[in-house]
Amino acid sequence: MTDDFAKMFSAWMEQGQKMAQAFMPGMENFDAKAMEKFFPAMPKELLEMWFGKTFNPEGLDARTRFLVTIAALTVLGPVGEPQLRMTIRNALSAGATKREVAEVIWQMSMFGGVPAMQKALEVAQSVFAETPEEKDA
């Protein structure tokens, strides 16, 4: 990265932080981990309303949408870890199995690379450890 690009990128980040603070005053000390504990997963009805068939009744259900999102977040690597953790929880709440989540992550190794897949599997394992065992896995 050149010095000029680094300065420009730094200015963008600073401007973005100022904009975020202006849009959401008081959020500068927001703790995503604390929010996860407060609201670990959305109720199934909300999942379907927001992520399921509300906008496209003939389209994908919430479970499938979350599995697709897990795939995308896996390819992003560690950058999307908080979002991946929340999405895995919501996918399980929407009816996905732990095996399906793991398989989607494994499939992304050819697109995001083995390190991204490995990190996503570590995140998934930590979510699975917090989640009750499935009856029909």
- pLDDT tens profile 7-35: 776 777 676 666 666 666 665 565 555 65
Which pLDDT band holds residue 121 (cuts at 50, 70, 90)?
very high
**Average pLDDT for the chain:** 79
Identify the CA nearest to 123 among candidates 107, 137, 102.
Answer: 102
Identify the CA nearest to 51 among candidates 86, 26, 78.
Answer: 86
**Cα R_g (the chain), whole angstroms:** 17
Identify the CA nearest to 51 among candidates 2, 104, 89.
Answer: 89
User: Where would I find the H helices in 42-97?
Assistant: 44-51, 62-76, 81-93
Max CA distance (Å), the chain: 57
Task: Find where tokens 């600073």 sit.
Answer: 14
Identify the CA nearest to 104 among candidates 61, 72, 130.
Answer: 72
Cβ atoms of 107 and 71 closer than 8 Å: yes
Which pLDDT band holds residue 137 (cuts at 50, 70, 90)?
very low
